[in-house]
Amino acid sequence: MSTLPPCPHCTLDNTYPDGDLYICADCGHEWSQQGVDEDDEESGAVIKDANGQILSDGDNVVLIKDLKVKGTSTTLKVGTKIKGIRLVDGDHAVDCKTDGGSFLLKAEFLKKA
C-alpha cells in the first residue's frame, strides 16, 4: 500500500514524488510535499494573492490593477480597498462587496492588505 497522498485537485491516487513536489500522473497537478495545511487539503484548494500570500475568508485586500466590469461602464480602480472577502469555488475565487456592488474577482488581481 502506498503512503503517498491522493491528488488534491482530482482526488485520484496515481501520484509520485519528484524532488520536493508530488505530481499527479492523471491530471498533471503539482503540489509541495510539506507546504499545505490539513484544513486546506480537505477543501481542495489554496487561494493565493498576487504576491503569493494565502487568502482566507474575512481578509482585507487591495486591487493591484484597474478592472473593467463586463456589461457596464464601471471600472474598479487600482488601490481600492475591499474589506471582508469570501472565498468561493471556481475561476473567480473571491466574492466581495464594494461601493459599486457585489463582484466575483480573480485573486491574481488582489494583494492582502
Mind listing the pLDDT tens digit for each residue in 91-100? 889 999 998 8
* 14 or 33, which is more confident: 14
Assign a CATH topology to domain 61-112.
Answer: SH3 type barrels. (2.30.30)
> Rounded to whole angstroms, how far apart are CA atoms 78 and 65?
5
Are residues 64 and 78 in contact, defined by beta-carbon separation less than 8 angstroms?
Answer: yes
| Per-residue model confidence (pLDDT) at position 95 | 94
- For residue 77, what pLDDT band results from cuts at 50, 70 and 90? very high
Mind listing the pLDDT tens digit for each residue in 22-35? 888 888 888 787 75
Mind listing the pLDDT tens digit for each residue in 35-67? 554 444 444 568 899 988 889 999 999 999 999
> Rounded to whole angstroms, how far apart are CA atoms 68 and 91?
17
Q: For domain 1-43, which CATH number applies: 2.40.50.140, 3.30.420.130, 2.20.25.10, 3.40.50.300?
A: 2.20.25.10
| Per-residue model confidence (pLDDT) at position 44 | 53
Q: What are the structural domain ranges in the chain?
A: 1-43, 61-112
| Per-residue model confidence (pLDDT) at position 62 | 96
Give mean pLDDT, residues 59-77. 93
Are residues 102 and 96 in contact, defined by beta-carbon separation less than 8 angstroms?
Answer: yes
> Rounded to whole angstroms, how far apart are CA atoms 47 and 110?
11
